[in-house]
A and B are shown apart, each in its own frame.
Chain A
Amino acid sequence: MPPPLALTVNGERRLLDDVPDSERLLDTIRWRLGLKGTKEGCRSGECGACTVLVDDRSTLSCLTLAHEVDGSTVTTIEGVARDPVGRTVQEMFARAGALQCGYCTPGFVLALVGLLKERGRAAPTEELLADLSGNLCRCTGYLSIARAVAMLPREGP
Chain B
Amino acid sequence: MSASPRPDARLKLEGSATFGMDLEAPGMLWAALVPSPVAHGRLSSVDLSPARSLEGVVAIGAADLSRLLPGAGDPDRPLFPSETVSFRGQPVAAVAAPSRELARQAARAVRVEVESLPVVSDLEDVFPEWPGPSADASPHVAAHVRARDGDVEAVFRTAETVVRETYRTSSVHQVAIEPHACLAELVDGEWRVRTSTQTPFGTREDIASLLGVPEASVVVEGTWVGGGFGGKGSALLEPYALLLAKATGRPVKLALGYREEFLLGRTTLPSVIRMETAVTQGRIVARRVRLLLDVGNSLPGRDFATGYSIGFLLGPYRTPAFEVEGYAVRTNKPPFGPHRAPFAPQCCFVLESHLDHVAREAGLDPEKFRAEHLWNEGDRTALGQAVGSFGLATAFEKARAIAARWRAEAKPDHGVGVAVGFWSTGTGAGGEVRLLLSPAGLTVVQGEREIGSGSVLSGVAAVAARCTGLPREKVTVVYENTGRAPFDSGVFGSRTTAALGRAVQEASCSLFGELRKRLDSPGLVHLAVVDGEVVAETDARQRPVRELLTDLERATGGIVASGRHYGKGGTIDERKVEVGTFYPYTDFTGAAHAAEVSVDRATGSVRVVRYAAVHDVGTVIDPTTASAQVEGGVVMGLGTALTEEALWSNDGRLLNAGLLDYRIPTLGTVPPIEVTFVEGFAGAGPFGAKGLGEPPIIPVPAAVAIAVREATGAHVTELPLSSERVTRALKLL
Contact = CB atoms under 8 A, between A and B. Distances in A.
How many of chain A's residues touch chain B, expressed as a range? 35 or more
B198 to A, nearest CB: 11
Interface in A1-50: 30-31, 34-44, 46-47, 49
A94 B9 contact: yes
B178 A103 contact: yes
Given A77-B15, A100-B452, A106-B15, A138 B227 contact: yes
B14 A37 contact: yes
Contacts of A34: 24
Contacts of B229: 138
Interface stretch (A65-73, A114-122, A125-133): A125-133
Contacts of B22: 30, 36
B453 to A, nearest CB: 7
B15 A42 contact: no
B659 A46 contact: yes
A105 interface: yes
Given A94-B10, A138-B229, A101 B670 contact: no
A130 B631 CA distance: 19
How many of chain B's residues touch chain A, expressed as a range? 35 or more
Nearest to B8: A102
A77 B672 CA distance: 29
B579 interface: no
B5 A146 contact: no
Nearest to B630: A141
B660 to A, nearest CB: 5
B54 interface: no
A101 B673 CA distance: 21
A31 B100 CA distance: 11
Contact of B227 (A31, A93, A103, A141): A103
B631 A97 contact: no
Contact of B13 (A90, A134, A146): A90
B12 interface: yes
A93 B667 contact: no
B176 A93 contact: no
A12 to B, nearest CB: 15
Given A97-B6, A102-B226, A136 B177 contact: yes
A143 B670 contact: yes
Nearest to A23: B101
B624 interface: yes
A99 B5 CA distance: 11
A68 B10 CA distance: 32
B10 A41 contact: no
Contacts of A143: 631, 635, 670, 672-673
Contacts of A146: 667, 670
Given A97-B628, A99-B13, A129 B5 contact: no
Q: Which of B9, B227, B257, B667 has the most CB of A within 10 A?
A: B667
B6 A99 contact: yes
A94 B659 contact: no
B668 A138 contact: no
Interface in B4-45: 5-6, 8-19, 21-22, 24
What 3 A-B pairs have minimum CB-CB distances, sorted nearest first? Answer: A37-B15, A101-B452, A102-B12
14 contacts: A34-B24, A44-B258, A93-B13, A100-B453, A100-B628, A101-B225, A102-B13, A102-B224, A103-B226, A136-B664, A138-B176, A138-B177, A140-B632, A141-B670
Given A90-B14, A105-B13, 19 more contacts: A38-B15, A39-B226, A43-B257, A77-B15, A78-B14, A94-B9, A94-B13, A99-B6, A100-B453, A101-B225, A101-B452, A102-B452, A103-B226, A103-B227, A133-B668, A139-B453, A141-B631, A141-B673, A143-B673
